Each structure stands twice: as C-alpha cells, then as structure tokens.
Amino acid sequence: MAHSSKHTPRTPTYLLPCVIALSFFSLTALLLYKVDDVASRTGTVVGHNLEPTPWHVFPTKSFDEETRQSRAYKIIQCSYLTCGSADSGGKTGPSFAAKDAKQQNCPDFFRAIRKDLEPWKKTKISKGHLVEAQKYAAFRVVIVGGKLFVDWYYACVQSRAMFTVWSLLQLLRRYPGLVPDVDLMFDCMDKPSINKTEHASMPLPLFRYCTTKGHFDIPFPDWSFWGWPEINIRPWQEEFPDIKQGAQVVSWKNKNPLAYWKGNPDVASPLRTELLTCNDSMKWGAEIMRQDWDAAARSGFQESKLSKQCNHRYKIYAEGYAWSVSLKYILSCGSVALIIRPQYEDFFTRGLVPLQNFLPVDPLDLCPSIKRNVDWGNKHPKEAAALGKRGQDYMESLNIDRIYDYMFHLISEYSKLLDFKPALPSTALVVCEESVLCFADEKQRSFLSRSTVSPSQTPPCTLKPA
C-alpha cells in the first residue's frame, strides 16, 4: 500500500496550466454561449428577436450586423451596458427659470384627453386591464422615478418604435421630475383595435397613433413629429417652417387653381381607388398623382420634398389603409385642405373645425364634391386664401412644445387612473437616450439628435379643470 501510494502519480507540472487553460476555455465558451443566449432572447428598439405584430404583418427586418456574434455583441452592449450610469434626470425637481412667466392655458383640443380617458373614470385602470391590453400591444412602457423601461412584445414597422420611445425620453428630459410614474400598453400599427361594442364590458386602455369614434384606443402623437428617416421627413420643428416658407414661393394668385393629391393609391383603400377617377382637371378640377417612394428614394427625395408640394390652391386629404400622417403636412401648406370625411382621428385633428380651417368633402359624392369646393374657392379667392391660412396657423400653433404638453397631460391624467403603484417590471429593460442612439443607424441618429430638447424654462400649459 505504502509502495503504491508512493507511486501515486503526482500532478505533473504540465497538467496545471492545462487545467487552467481548459477551464478558461470552457468558461469562455460558457460565457459566449450565455451571451449568445441572452442576446437571442432580448427584444430591442429596432426589433431584434421580435416578430412583426400578428394583426398587421410586415416583412421581417434585416439587420446591418454581419455575423451572429457581432449582433449578439451589439445587443448586449446597447441593451445592458449603455444605460448604467445614464441619469435620465428624473430625480431633480423642476426648476423653471421663467417663474413669473404667465402660465398658458392649453389649447382647446386638449379637452379630448379627458374624453379619451372617460371609460376608466369610474372603474380605474387595474393590473388586470393591462394584462388584457397586452394582447393587443407591441410594447409596454413603464416610467418609474423618471426612468423609462420598455417590455417588447412585437416589432414595429420601420423606425416607429425607436422614434416613439425617443419622444418619451425627450418628454422626461424636458420636464425633469414632473412626469409621474406610469404603466401603459402601446401598439404602433395604424388600425385601432379596441372596438367599443366588443369591449363594452371591459374597455382596454391601449395607446396608439389614432382612434375612431367606435374605438377605445387612446391617441398619442405619432413618431413622425420626431422624424421619419425612411422617407426623409424631418423633425416637426424643422419640417413645418420649411413647408411654410416653401409655400410662400408662389403667391395665391399664381398657385395652380386645382385640387391636388399625391400619395400611394395601392393601400387597399376603396376611397383612394375612387379618388383616381377624379383625375381630370377640366371635369373635376383635380390632379391625382401617384407617389413612387422607390423612385423618390433613388433621387434622394429631392422631388418629394414636402415644401415643394404647396403649389396648388387646394390639397386633398384621403385616408389610406387607416389614418395617415400626411394630414399635418397638407394643412401646413396654407392651401385649402379638402378633407374627405375621415373615419380616423389623431390627437390634434379633434381641434379642426370644418369651414373654419378646412373644407369637408363628401366621400359618397367624391368628385362632384371636390369640384364644388374648387369652384367656390376660385370664385372667392380672398376667403379661400384666408381659410387655407387658418389651417396653416392651426398647425403652427401645434408646435413641438405643445406636443410635449399634450403627452405630459395625457400621461399625467392616465396615471391618475391607475389603481396600483407602477413598479419596475422584472422583464423590462431600462431604455435611455444612449441606448436608443446605440441601436440607431447613421441617418436615424442624425434625426434623433436634431430633436433633442433641453429642460423647459416654463411649466406645461394648464389643462382646464374638467
């Protein structure tokens, strides 16, 4: 026994480095495996690891990163290692330099906020409401202590999610310490989904960019106010003044005395299909053009610049598949907006008044109705020009500051309805400006950076008591 024990092989000197190397490699492999595993389960603001919303399918996104490894690295880097020290500025209270500034009342259309939230006034909003609303949501937004957390369920088309999340981050930056804790569900596609009849027994609170009179969906300012890089639409505070200036290049007298529409008629919209039949300048006083986005992209969007599309006295707005972001740009021209009776509304359209800042068009009598409006305007150029101007003034009053105020009041009023205290969800990731920028491509980053705000010197406008 002693003999054999004496010959127990002693650890040979070469074995130790081998063991260390081996454990190092297996640890590294394990770590890489773990990283890859986490990365492949992490949803992101650009849609990594997320399916398109099943209620509106769109082509799955492709990503820039060349290899699986570089993608995993980027996801980990941007999602987990970027916001650590970032302070979204929620802790410090507001400090309004212009303390004596007279506090402005909010525009009248802000009243819609209370109307939109009316369904939950008595019942309040419970966790149960959110669990049900989640079935219709692309993501969940939680704000706690001025920090933003997002739970991703589905990808959003193009960069909608990115620009919407950015808008919330900018709201937090603009009003540090003022935005209350909140927990809400958001869908980023165009069609409202909470039908008032079908959900009568339990209205579900779901934010999106539009609603209808027959839906409970809560309208929220759409992403394009912060930019729509895919079609080169810049942040609102750049786009509006540019359109307004471009519109002045041709005087009213010299503007084309026809009703103009340019857009995509191939969006399964019977209305737009019918609009094509009005394309006769002699008979209907209308010019209907097809927007070819591929060609526009190839030419660097020079021809499709919105500021160059204000040379007609009348501009037609026609809903497409659902609601359309184009209305704000049409109104901005100062031409007479001919709005074909819309089914959808977004947050600001509730302030529009027929015959005051636009002319309504009857969809059941489409071409003749357009023609009547055009004839009226050409007989009454002064009145027509003034009406167009009032439409433009309305859009001018909807500056980006007012839009943040709308978001602020909507979120604040909504948060008052929650019957629970919003808490950090275990599944949600903190999102900060740096992490959004980390995922953004070069063009997106440029658009995002240009819409960065600074803390407001004045408090939000005053929402009139109910």
Ligand X SMILES: *[C@@H]1O[C@H](CO)[C@@H](O)[C@H](O)[C@H]1NC(C)=O
**Choice between 51 and 280, CB closer to ligand X:** 280
Residues sharing a CB contact under 8 Å with residue 261, sequence separation 6 or more, in sequence order: 275, 286, 287, 288, 289, 315, 316, 317, 318
In whole angstroms, the minimum distance from the beta carbon of 350 to ligand X comes to 17
Task: List, in sequence order, every residue forming a beta bridge with 185; answer none if it has no partner.
Answer: 140
Minimum Å distance from CB 149 to ligand X?
Answer: 32
Residues in CB range of 437: below 8 A, 6 or more apart: 445, 448, 449
Stretch that binds ligand X, among 177-185, 210-218, 241-249, 414-422 (CB under 6 A): 210-218
266 binds ligand X (CB under 6 A): no
Choose the binding region for ligand X from 94-102, 104-112, 127-135, 209-217 (rule: CB under 6 A).
Answer: 209-217
- Within 399-458, which residues bind ligand X (CB under 6 A)? none
Determine which residue in the list 279, 311, 378, 399 makes contact with ligand X, applying CB under 6 A.
Answer: 279
Comparing CB distances to ligand X, the nearer of 91 and 290 is 290
Interface with ligand X includes 277 (CB under 6 A)? no
Cα Rg, the chain, nearest whole Å: 27
* Least separation in angstroms between CB 265 and ligand X: 7
Closest by CA to 40, choosing from 51, 48, 31, 29, is 48
Do the Cβ atoms of 286 and 338 come closer than 8 Å?
Answer: no
- Residue from 200, 289, 386, 424 touching ligand X (CB under 6 A): that is 289
Give the separation between CA 243 and CA 235, rounded to whole angstroms.
12
Q: Least separation, in Å, of the C-beta of 343 and ligand X?
A: 8
Among all residues, whose Cβ is closest to ligand X? 214
Closest distance to ligand X from the beta carbon of 267 (Å):
13
**193 belongs to the binding site for ligand X (CB under 6 A):** no
As measured in angstroms, the least distance from the Cβ of 26 to ligand X is: 58
| Residue 195 sits in the site that holds ligand X (CB under 6 A) | yes
CB 290 within 8 A of CB 264: yes
Minimum separation from the CB atom of position 437 to ligand X (A): 39
Least distance to ligand X, CB of residue 214, Å? 3
Q: Which is nearer to ligand X, 303 or 383 (CB)?
A: 303
Q: How far is the CB of 191 from ligand X (least distance, A)?
A: 9
Cβ neighbours for 429, distance < 8 A, ≥ 6 positions apart: 42, 79, 80, 149, 150, 151
Burial of residue 224 (number of CB atoms within 10 Å: 0-12, 13-18, 19+): buried
Which range, of 4-12, 39-47, 282-290, 436-444, touches ligand X by CB under 6 A? Answer: 282-290
- Tokens describing residue 197: 């009849």
Which region, judged by CB under 6 A, interacts with ligand X, from 94-102, 222-230, 284-292, 310-318?
284-292
Q: Which stretch binds ligand X (CB under 6 A): 24-32, 45-53, 192-200, 299-307?
A: 192-200
Within 10 angstroms of residue 24's Cβ, the number of other Cβ atoms is: 10
> What is the rounded end-to-end Cα distance, in angstroms, of the chain?
95
Of 218 and 400, which has the nearer Cβ to ligand X?
218
Residues 90-129 that bind ligand X (CB under 6 A): none
Of 260 and 406, which has the nearer Cβ to ligand X? 260
Q: At what angle do helices 68-80 and 15-39 cross, to 10 degrees?
A: 70
Binding window for ligand X (CB under 6 A); candidates: 17-25, 68-76, 115-123, 195-203: 195-203
CA 181, 325, 287: angle at the middle one, nearest 5? 170
Site for ligand X in 18-47 (CB under 6 A): none
Separation between Cα atoms, residue 423 and residue 220, nearest integer Å: 23
Nearest to 75 by CA among 42, 50, 51, 33: 42
**Residue choice 84, 214, 300, 368 for contact with ligand X (CB under 6 A):** 214
- In angstroms, rounded to a whole number, what is the distance separating the alpha carbons of residues 15 and 422? 56
Structure tokens at 266: 């191939």
**Beta pairing, strands 336-340 & 359-361:** parallel
What's the CA gap between 134 and 139, in Å, rounded? 8
Pick from 27, 98, 276, 353: which binds ligand X (CB under 6 A)?
276
DSSP per-residue string spanning 85-127: S---S-SSPP--S-TTSPPPBPPGGGGHHHHHHGGGTTT-B-H
Binding segment (CB under 6 A) for ligand X, from list 23-31, 117-125, 193-201, 416-424: 193-201
Residues touching ligand X, count (CB under 6 A):
11
Minimum distance, C-beta of residue 58 to ligand X, in the bound complex (Å): 22
Of positions 133, 168, 233, 288, contacts ligand X by CB under 6 A = 288
Residues lying near ligand X in the complex (CB under 6 A): 195, 197-198, 212, 214-215, 276, 279, 288-290
